[in-house]
Chains A and B, each alone.
Chain A
């Protein structure tokens, strides 16, 4: 057998062996902690459903608070996954292959967390289906001139397209797991998931184009989803919201926080599974560079919105930018985390040092959450009419729900890592044969 054959066989066997290896005690402890937080989330969601959202801290004037902050934050995190799997695919960036499956999965699970919030925020979540047009005897239809149905359409589309893209990419790897399964049960389950994939040239011929088409759809979709979420704000008259800057600003911020989460996932995965030869220093370096680029766009956005507040002469915007925001500690936390911390990424050694990357990623995730807090809550607390001003503070239920979604997200990611092929082996093999692979 030739060396190419040996190399792709070795690559296949190596990745499969690492996926099947027994996990350490630390893994099970982390899994148990994530499960506890997920259970806590279920309890708090049930409590909210049974009692009502009066349990939360949001009230007029801050009718939008934690729920929408968390929704925007989680949706944003998903964006880097689609960016890596679709946009970098179309740009023929072969380094993406090693981490594309992980990031696509991250997208799906992040969108699931995001969806929890607007549905609960409806108040009567069991009527959530009213957002979709269905023939009913009342003859009352969704009002599509409102931003809420836009969000429902954008987020459901994003989730479903991401799911299709993710599943289609998994099919060849499911087939490989079916053919090399250790038990009959696994063979049956993976056999069903593999849809009868044999790797025939007929299937590959259409698969290649289907994958390209889905990537072509996912690329504008990733831009459109956060643009629509940003339009929820842009169409409102609240100070700090009513600006055409919002869509590009939100998209850049979304990819920024998404890359931070990619690093938060990729670094432990390569450590735990011993995959430093597949998810290499170059992958971390590239993600860190993209963190720097998108962070710079976000910093530029802050500059422009401050300038527009000054230049427009609008008193409410002026007050928001030059008085209300600078007097809040959270505003300075946002600037430190989103503008100052990523500057470390100019330094090559920082881009290749795991703990520094993790520290900057945590900063960025915190920073992007505080950014949404500053935009949403500060704008509502200090609206045009001083007589309507009021301060907001979250309740323990608010804090418990966001912590719970972090736990559920970690739980889902760990379950995926345990049960499914989290490295796109067939794509890596193709890159290897074409001499493009930077990883293995």
Chain B
């Protein structure tokens, strides 16, 4: 979030009330900042369940197929060794490495996907400049509203947050 307003709420119940209140006023570009996962927050924010599992599945299938294919290429085609009556292409012996590569690439795809879609590896954001924002990794519950939200109105946001028990509204990000 590049620009907007943010406030701290006293607890997770107040945060959920604030999110519900802001969404009831038509505001949709909201971001909550919390020290841990809050049950029900995704539903309140209207987030759909993350489809990150698709990345895991694609990575795992490609890893397993690629691993098996590589084994066939190496031992079945490029360097076939006849040993102990075992055929060069021997599915039973190729399965262990194939499965392991499925696990490895499934995990790699998951981590890469969470870094990309979770917008991590971005070491600074304007919201980090808000005084006291460090409490979001201790016990603080914060809610931010983006300034480019079509229904953005500071007075309305302040009123909803005040009713939810929130603290003073702080602006963050450069003015356009």
Q: Mark B3-44, 1 if CB is under 8 A from A, else 0.
A: 000000011111000000000000000111111111101100
B32 nearest CB neighbor, chain A only: A201
Are A161 and B38 closer than 8 Å at their CB atoms? no
A434 CB contact (under 8 Å) in B39, B94, B110, B120:
B39
For residue B159, CB closer than 8 A to chain A, the reply is: no
User: With A and B bound together, what is the CA distance between A175 and B36 in angstroms?
Assistant: 12
Q: Are A207 and B39 CB-contacts (below 8 A) given A198-B125, A198-B136?
A: no
Are A153 and B101 closer than 8 Å at their CB atoms? yes
For residue B169, CB closer than 8 A to chain A, the reply is: no
A192 nearest CB neighbor, chain B only: B123
* A contact residues around B35 at 8 Å (CB): 8, 12, 172, 176, 199, 426, 429
Taking A6-B139, A204-B38, A430-B38 as known contacts, 19 extra A-B pairs with beta carbons closer than 8 A to each other, sorted by chain A number, are: A145-B93, A150-B96, A150-B97, A164-B111, A176-B35, A179-B134, A196-B122, A196-B123, A196-B124, A197-B137, A199-B34, A199-B136, A200-B32, A201-B32, A201-B47, A208-B37, A210-B111, A217-B56, A426-B137
B10 nearest CB neighbor, chain A only: A1
Are B12 and A209 closer than 8 Å at their CB atoms? no
Q: Mark A20-42, 1 if CB is under 8 A from B, else 0.
A: 00000000000000000000000
For residue B61, CB closer than 8 A to chain A, the reply is: no
User: What is the count of residue pairs linking A and B with beta-carbon distances less than 8 angstroms?
Assistant: 213
For residue A265, CB closer than 8 A to chain B, the reply is: no
Are A210 and B137 closer than 8 Å at their CB atoms? no
* B contact residues around A142 at 8 Å (CB): 74
For residue A184, CB closer than 8 A to chain B, the reply is: no
20 contacts between A and B (CB under 8 A): A2-B14, A141-B79, A145-B93, A154-B96, A164-B110, A171-B120, A179-B134, A195-B121, A195-B123, A200-B119, A202-B118, A204-B34, A204-B41, A205-B47, A207-B37, A210-B118, A217-B103, A221-B103, A429-B35, A429-B139
User: With A and B bound together, what is the CA distance between A2 and B164 in angstroms?
Assistant: 13
For residue B104, CB closer than 8 A to chain A, the reply is: yes
Q: Name which of B39, B47, B107, B122 has the most chain A CB atoms within 10 A of its CB.
A: B107
For residue A5, CB closer than 8 A to chain B, the reply is: yes
For residue A133, CB closer than 8 A to chain B, the reply is: yes
For residue A285, CB closer than 8 A to chain B, the reply is: no
B36 CB contact (under 8 Å) in A153, A154, A429:
A429
For residue B115, CB closer than 8 A to chain A, the reply is: yes
* A contact residues around B136 at 8 Å (CB): 179, 198-199
Q: Are A153 and B97 CB-contacts (below 8 A) given A8-B35, A144-B75, A199-B137?
A: yes
A residues near B, CB below 8 A?
1-2, 4-6, 8-9, 12-13, 133, 139-145, 149-150, 153-154, 156-157, 160-161, 164-165, 168, 171-172, 175-176, 178-180, 191-192, 195-210, 213-214, 216-218, 220-221, 224, 228, 231, 426-427, 429-430, 433-434
Q: Name which of A1, A12, A141, A178 has the most chain B CB atoms within 10 A of its CB.
A: A141
What distance in Å separates the Cβ of A274 from its nearest Cβ neighbour in chain B? Answer: 21
Are B11 and A1 closer than 8 Å at their CB atoms? yes
For residue B150, CB closer than 8 A to chain A, the reply is: no
Q: Are A217 and B137 CB-contacts (below 8 A) given A153-B96, A157-B101?
A: no
* B contact residues around A6 at 8 Å (CB): 139
What distance in Å separates the Cβ of A78 from its nearest Cβ neighbour in chain B? Answer: 15
Q: Are A198 and B104 CB-contacts (below 8 A) given A205-B50, A207-B118, A210-B113?
A: no
B residues near A, CB below 8 A?
10-14, 30-39, 41-42, 45, 47, 49-50, 52-53, 56, 60, 67, 70-71, 74-75, 78-79, 81, 83, 86, 90, 93-94, 96-97, 99-101, 103-104, 106-108, 110-111, 113-115, 117-125, 127-128, 133-139, 141
Are B111 and A206 closer than 8 Å at their CB atoms? no
Are A143 and B81 closer than 8 Å at their CB atoms? yes
Closest 6 CB pairs of A and B: A9-B139, A179-B134, A210-B114, A430-B36, A141-B74, A176-B137
A195 nearest CB neighbor, chain B only: B120
User: With A and B bound together, what is the CA distance between A150 and B71 in angstroms?
Assistant: 11
Are B74 and A133 closer than 8 Å at their CB atoms? yes
* B contact residues around A153 at 8 Å (CB): 67, 96-97, 100-101
Are A217 and B121 closer than 8 Å at their CB atoms? no
Are B31 and A168 closer than 8 Å at their CB atoms? no
* A contact residues around B137 at 8 Å (CB): 172, 175-176, 178-180, 197-199, 426
What distance in Å separates the Cβ of A90 from its nearest Cβ neighbour in chain B? Answer: 14
A213 CB contact (under 8 Å) in B37, B110, B133:
B110
Are A217 and B110 closer than 8 Å at their CB atoms? yes
Are B41 and A213 closer than 8 Å at their CB atoms? no
Are A214 and B121 closer than 8 Å at their CB atoms? no
A162 nearest CB neighbor, chain B only: B107
